[in-house]
Amino acid sequence: MGQAEPPSSSTPLFYIGRDSHGRWVVQDQKHLCGGLFVDRATALKFALFENGHKPQAVVMVPGVFELDMSARPRVVHQRTVDTDAPRQRRAA
């Protein structure tokens, strides 16, 4: 078998481990996506689905790994354009 390629910068990295209650935890590196699972197989299936089936972008975390969903997603503000407003002419 060949060596696995490292994940590209566009591939989300997912961490898998167990929390203090014994549940399996999956979380992406930006803390925007994740969940709690009853078994390792389901946790791994979720992580692979979310990262485009790239096993090299899944990291098993030793010890206690608690779910942290405190990160806030970035909101991109777009200007609204009033299409009913009269257009202004530019002076030459």
Assign 2 a pLDDT band (cuts: 50, 70, 90). Answer: very low
Q: What is the pLDDT of residue 49?
A: 97
pLDDT in tens, 34-64: 999 999 999 999 999 999 999 999 999 999 9
Predicted TM-score (pTM) of the model is 0.68
Q: What is the pLDDT of residue 1?
A: 40
Q: What percent of the chain has pLDDT over 90?
A: 59
17 contacts 65 by C-beta, under 8 angstroms? yes
From the centroid of its chain, how far is CA 21? 23
> Tokens 């970035």 sit at which residue?
74
